[in-house]
Structures are given as C-alpha cells and as structure tokens.
C-alpha cells in the first residue's frame, strides 16, 4: 500500500517541477523585443526584415510591428527540446503560428519550431533547426 502512494507522490512532484521550468521560460519570453540582428544561408548574410518589434504575451499570443503598425499576429506554443549539456540547462523551442497577416509578407519563419536561446537576460535568439537556416536576435525593451 505504501509503495503506490509513494510512487504517486513522486510522479506529482516530477510533473510539478517540469511544468515550473516551462512557466519560468514563458515568463522570461514575454515582453516587447526589438530585432537587433539576423543571419542565415550557406554564406552568413544579413536577412532584411520588414518589422522592428515582436511583442509576446503570457496568454500565448504574439504581435509583430513595424513603426507602430501591426503587421502580423497569432498564437505561439512552447515545446521542451531537452537538456543541453553544453548550456547545462533545459532548452526549449517556440513555434509562432501565423494567425493574421495584415496583407504584407512578414519575413519570419512562421509555423515551425524554432530553437530558442537566451544569450543574456535581455537578449534572445530564435534559430531555425537546420545548419544553413536563419537566426533572429532580439533585445528586450
């Protein structure tokens, strides 16, 4: 009788810890971010973006602006990617689903999982998960 109770409590504890990591990540992710650099392609090059700000809300919604004009919005999802032994932390992927496009093609990799890394507390990089794909770096405002 004691063993099933112990296992149940252990399972609840593990699930709680794992969900807390995702919540902390989402708290760090939310806010308004200004694009600071891009790169991509076989030969590293700057990708000319047609937006300046990415606003990420806690309610799993995002908004992309250019000069205070809304260019795109939608919802996003957070996925655990696994433990990265080099970074010595849990890593995550974020997928921005392109819900509403304001008639302008926004240059950003929508509808795919992007590897997400905090370079510092206020600098964030989204990377496509292929060796020669795009990276988008943002600074928190």
Query: 104-112 long-range CB contacts below 8 Å, 24 or more apart?
Result: 104/50, 104/71, 104/72, 105/50, 106/50, 106/51, 106/64, 106/71, 106/72, 107/47, 107/48, 107/49, 107/50, 107/51, 108/49, 108/51, 108/64, 108/72, 108/136, 109/133, 109/134, 109/136, 110/72, 110/74
Domain that holds residue 18: 2-140
Give the chain's domain count. Answer: 1
pTM over cut 0.85: no
Sort strands 100-101 and 135-140 into parallel, antiparallel or unpaired. unpaired
pLDDT value of position 2: 64
pLDDT tens sequence across 66-114? 888 888 888 998 887 777 666 666 678 898 887 666 555 677 777 888 8
Rounded Cα gap, residues 11 and 120, in angstroms: 33
| Mean pLDDT, rounded, of the chain | 76
pLDDT value of position 110: 78
Residue count of the chain: 141
pLDDT value of position 25: 58
Check which CATH number belongs to the domain holding 27 and give it: 2.40.128
pLDDT value of position 21: 47
pLDDT value of position 83: 72
Q: What confidence category does residue 130 fall into, taking pLDDT thresholds of 50, 70 and 90? A: confident
């Amino acid at each position: 009788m004691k063993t099933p109770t112990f296992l149940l409590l252990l399972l609840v504890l593990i699930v709680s810890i794992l969900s807390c990591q995702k919540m902390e990540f989402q708290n760090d992710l939310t806010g308004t971010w200004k694009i600071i650099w891009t790169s991509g392609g076989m030969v590293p090059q700057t990708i000319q973006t047609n937006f300046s700000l990415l606003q990420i809300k806690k309610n799993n919604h995002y908004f992309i602006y250019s000069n205070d004009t809304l260019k795109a919005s939608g919802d996003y999802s957070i996925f655990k990617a696994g433990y990265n032994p080099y970074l010595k932390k849990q890593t995550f992927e974020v997928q921005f689903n392109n819900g509403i496009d304001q008639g302008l093609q926004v240059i950003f990799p929508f509808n795919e999982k992007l590897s997400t890394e905090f370079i510092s507390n206020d600098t964030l990089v989204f990377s496509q998960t292929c060796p020669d794909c795009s990276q988008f770096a943002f600074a928190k405002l």
